[in-house]
Amino acid sequence: MCSSFSASVTEAMCSQAWLRSRKAYEAFQEKPSSGNLFRVFNDLVGDVRNWVRDDRAPVQSVFVRFEEALEHGDTRFAQSLASEAALNAGEYEDVGPVRIVLAARAILAHGNTEVADGLFADTNSRDDRFGDSLLTLFLLRIRCRVSDLKNRKLFEKIVVMKPRGYSVAVAEWMEHNWRYQGPDRQMVQWFWQLIQEKGLSDRKVLSAVTAMATRVNAWELVDAIIDVHPDLMHRFTNVLPLARHLIRTGRGTDEMQAYRDLHAHIDEQTAKLLEDFADPNVSIAVVGNSPCELGKKHGSAIDAHNEVVRFNYFELAPEYVEDYGSRFTTHGRGPGSSEELAERSVRAERAVICTYDFTYVPRDWTRWLELHRRGVQLAALPTGVHQKLQKQLLAEPSLGLAFLSWLKAIRGSLSKDSCFGFSFVDQTGSHTSAARYFGGPPPALTHRWDLESAIFQSMFV
């Protein structure tokens, strides 16, 4: 099966990455979610080997010709190639993953939503009686950080058609609007009314609207939601502010105490972070993971600062010390759950979570409680600090850019002499390679590196 398919599409389709993609697609069909959808295309979209010409290959891949058409701006030809690839995959029941992979590549590497939309238009008209592909396209656009009027139109159709698993679209649309518009009481009320009208009782949807209500201090609405869905009182391990609110209003339990204390700890450490980093007498080196410092021997200059901030999976192996230094005091990180990430936070003096509205967005708080119990001092970038960047980028900012933007806001200015390992330009283009000084996977295409580069440069004007 696989050998015939690879001859018409790409040899990469026979790889372990493609097998993982197929398995993820099965999971996505059983349980539609942007997370399962992302796993369908993650390995394949970001791996340059799937998209470049190899003269040694006996057959010119449809994937490669698709990529070349997009690079030349030939949307019509790219669309026909994508349809050809999906058609060839059909007999092997790979048509779903192929559509998703090609659509994601068009959006993430080329910003071409027209090709992506067109890939799903045929299925909508021919064989999508229940709106499954409509939901897939909507979730794909959301996951790839597309933000335009079509998203709303797709959402409105989904609400009318009610495809299988459509409640996940409501939760994703809430999160999307939270990110790029910023939540307010009117938005929360609109979603709560929609949830009631549609009779939705999905836990993810209810957690999302409750969390959004806590974010805008609409506590009377939180109580109204709990009155209708009393089981939400047990969701404090998913919506952190609930523990504090329920204890404050006399409905707390012993189990909630630890989560209330965790919330208080993050608030205290966030205030301390602001106090420490706003002090003009404290020198701060902010070190990104770009390979742009290799050979420049800036390690000793980095280590000479009072505070040294490094991000996510940085590397301090001896061969990098001369260029990137050996010290770090602050671990700027995302919400990932790997032990490798946790180990770096444990070693740091503090960990700063650099994602938006950290304490309000629903997540699994049990593992953060465990990290806190291991002695990690957990702080976060303040609530609302991402909003301006998200509106500029129409995408989630990288951790480094978000941190630098906040740092400039509290200090008044930044010095290029204190910023290391930031290039962004080595992370642009459709044929990126590993963009970390220590190797690893290619950069995430969900960030807008070209815009991030421009914003970064403007910080020093």
6: pLDDT confidence band, cut at 50, 70 and 90? very low
Quick one: pLDDT at residue 268? Answer: 98
Of the residues 181, 205, 239, which one is the last residue of a structural domain?
A: 239
Structural domain of 324:
256-458
Give the count of alpha carbons within 13 A of 360, CB side only.
21
Sign for the CA dihedral angle at 349, 353, 359, 364 comes to negative
Confidence of residue 341 (pLDDT cuts 50, 70, 90): very high
Task: Tell me how many domains the chain contains.
Answer: 3
Of 115, 139, 137, residue with least CA distance to 128: 137
Residue at 249 is within a domain: no
User: What pLDDT is attached to residue 4?
Assistant: 40
Give the mean model confidence (pLDDT) for residues 66-76: 92
Mean pLDDT of 50-77: 79
| Structural domain contains residue 398 | yes
Please report, as a single letter, which amino acid is at residue 35: G
Q: Is 245 inside a domain boundary?
A: no
The larger pLDDT score, comparing residue 117 to residue 443, is at 117
pLDDT at 432: 54
Would you state the pLDDT for residue 127?
Answer: 47
Q: Are residues 104 and 27 in the same domain?
A: yes
Kindly report the pTM of this predicted structure.
0.89
Final residue before a domain boundary, out of 159, 184, 216: 159
251 belongs to a structural domain: no
pLDDT tens by residue, 281-338: 999 999 999 999 999 999 999 999 999 999 999 999 999 999 999 999 999 999 998 9
Assess if residue 355 is contained within a domain: yes
Q: Report the C-alpha gap between 285 and 158 in whole angstroms.
A: 48
Q: Provide the β-strand partners of residue 330.
A: 309, 350
Structure tokens, 263? 């919330």
Same domain, 318 and 205: no
Q: Do the beta carbons of residue 291 and residue 261 sit within 8 Å?
A: no
Give the mean pLDDT of 38-67. 77
**Has residue 11 got a pLDDT over 60?**
no
Residues 434 and 287 in one domain: yes
Q: What is the pLDDT of residues 127-174, one digit of tens each?
A: 444 468 899 999 999 999 898 999 999 999 999 988 888 899 999 999
Write down the pLDDT at residue 2: 44
Both 381 and 358 in a single domain? yes
- Is residue 418 in a domain? yes
